[in-house]
């Protein structure tokens, strides 16, 4: 049976924080061994990252460890957005294969070459098809989209969850892999022989009708449902209910259906992207994602209430999918624009996950979140993604 345990420390001293958090996690594991460990450390602790890693290894002895610098940490229903915080999340995963990696990117003609990819990603290896991956990337030196495209090509359908490091040291992100500290690239783990359920909440509410893209080029939409895109956008906003129109006045987003092979589209079927600009001469819209002719789209709006509702609906769906045994625990990757910046109540996302899973969960506030929509993995913003580990 999978066992997950979490430790959190607010100590100013990095080594003391690592020992406190590790001891709490060790107590939660009981007699089970630590097969996987994730460490999220706030900015004040990063100059001592090597020492705090040594403390975690000494007290937990994990088979595989990754971690990163965190602009805020989350654990056991609490969110520490400021000040020192160190989280140790660990799991005993009987029967699972866990392998860690550190990958860097080198610019080549036509894109990037990824260096250091594990065999599990290059092929399916001896353990069979991986069940999931967790990736923590440096936002300054690493093109996370390139790694996600590689996963899509090599292991289509395998969920990848994680986030971009949100605390830096000397202008560089801090990543941890086993006993090493890195300032570039990405670190990750490949999990085989275990199911991990992805939960992605983009925190936005659909409004208005579904529309078909009838003319597009790259990320520019020239026509929606046969009319110039700007003209159609104005019509849709003008026809909204007053409450929805008030939300739209603060900005609208566009949800793009990724998997068109569905009879109808529900929450979670749309990849939500910002409308990045407009070409008024052409009456065209620029969207933060490549768009294709024939794709179905729908306007979305975002506020605290819709973000709360979307997260709780997503978590309920995964709690239902778990069945009777429930969750052993979860990893939460939430945007650093959420928390107190979005919600009036403290500990919102961490509390919602704790309420839904009823199991140990931890994570950090990210500079970008990774998770699947429509069966494909994407880098998001203002999103909460959760890796849910079933109890059995």
Quick: pLDDT tens for 246-273. 999 888 999 999 888 777 887 778 999 9
In angstroms, the CA 303 to CA 296 distance is 23
Orientation angle between helical segments 49-60 and 14-29, nearest 10 degrees: 20
CA of 92: how far to CAs of 89, 132, 338, in Å? 11, 16, 30
Quick: pLDDT tens for 10-24. 999 999 999 999 999
Q: Residue 68 gets which letter from DSSP?
A: E
State mean pLDDT over 155-163. 95
Write down the residue that tokens 């778990």 correspond to: 322
In angstroms, the CA 19 to CA 17 distance is 5
Q: How many CB atoms within 10 Å of residue 31?
A: 6
In angstroms, the CA 389 to CA 345 distance is 27
- Place 120 in a pLDDT band, splitting at 50, 70 and 90: low
| 78 or 170, which is more confident | 78
Predicted confidence at residue 125, as pLDDT, reads 47
Q: Taking the C-alpha atoms of 152, 153, 155 and 158 in order, what is their torsion angle to the nearest 10 degrees?
A: 10
State mean pLDDT over 288-295. 94
37 has a pLDDT exceeding 70: yes
- What are the φ and ψ backbone dihedral angles of 359, each rounded to 5 degrees? -145, 160
Predicted confidence at residue 266, as pLDDT, reads 77
177 neighbors 63 (Cβ within 8 angstroms): no
Predicted confidence at residue 267, as pLDDT, reads 74
> Containing H/E element for 41?
strand 36-42
In angstroms, the CA 198 to CA 60 distance is 26
CA of 170: how far to CAs of 18, 40, 85, 111, 167, in Å? 22, 18, 19, 27, 10
């Amino acid at each position: 049976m999978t066992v997950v345990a979490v430790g959190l420390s607010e100590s100013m001293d990095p080594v003391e924080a690592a020992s406190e958090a590790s001891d709490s996690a060790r107590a939660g594991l009981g007699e089970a061994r630590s097969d996987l460990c994730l460490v999220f450390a706030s900015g004040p602790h990063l100059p001592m990252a090597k020492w705090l890693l040594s403390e975690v290894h000494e007290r937990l002895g994990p088979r595989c460890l990754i971690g990163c610098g965190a602009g805020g940490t989350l654990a056991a229903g609490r969110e520490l957005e400021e000040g020192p915080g160190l989280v140790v999340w660990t799991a005993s995963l009987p029967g699972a294969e866990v392998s860690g990696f550190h990958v860097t990117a080198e610019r080549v003609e036509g894109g990037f070459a990824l260096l250091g990819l594990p065999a599990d990603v290059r092929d399916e290896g001896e353990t069979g098809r991986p069940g999931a991956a967790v990736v923590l990337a440096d936002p300054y030196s690493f093109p996370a989209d390139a790694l996600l495209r590689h996963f899509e090509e090599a292991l289509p359908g395998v969920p990848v969850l994680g986030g971009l490091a949100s605390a830096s040291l000397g202008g560089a992100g801090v990543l941890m892999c086993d006993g090493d500290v890195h300032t570039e690239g990405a670190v990750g783990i490949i999990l085989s022989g275990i199911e991990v359920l992805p939960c992605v909440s983009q925190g936005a509410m659909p409004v208005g009708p579904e529309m078909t893209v009838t003319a597009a080029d790259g990320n520019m939409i020239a026509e929606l449902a046969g009319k110039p895109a700007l003209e159609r956008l104005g019509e849709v906003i003008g026809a909204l209910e007053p409450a929805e129109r008030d939300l739209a006045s603060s900005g609208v987003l566009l949800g793009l259906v990724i998997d068109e092979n569905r009879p109808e589209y529900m929450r979670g079927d749309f990849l939500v992207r910002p409308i990045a600009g407009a070409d008024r001469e052409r009456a065209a819209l620029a969207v933060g994602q490549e768009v294709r002719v024939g794709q179905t789209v729908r306007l979305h709006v975002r506020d605290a209430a819709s973000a709360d509702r979307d997260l709780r609906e997503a978590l309920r769906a995964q709690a239902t999918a778990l069945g009777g045994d429930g969750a052993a625990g979860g990893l939460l990757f939430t945007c650093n624009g959420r928390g107190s910046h979005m919600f009036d109540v403290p500990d919102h996302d961490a509390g919602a996950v704790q309420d839904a899973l009823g199991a140990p969960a931890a994570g950090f506030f990210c500079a970008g979140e990774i998770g699947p929509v429509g069966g494909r993995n994407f880098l998001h913003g203002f999103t909460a993604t959760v890796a849910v580990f079933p109890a059995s």
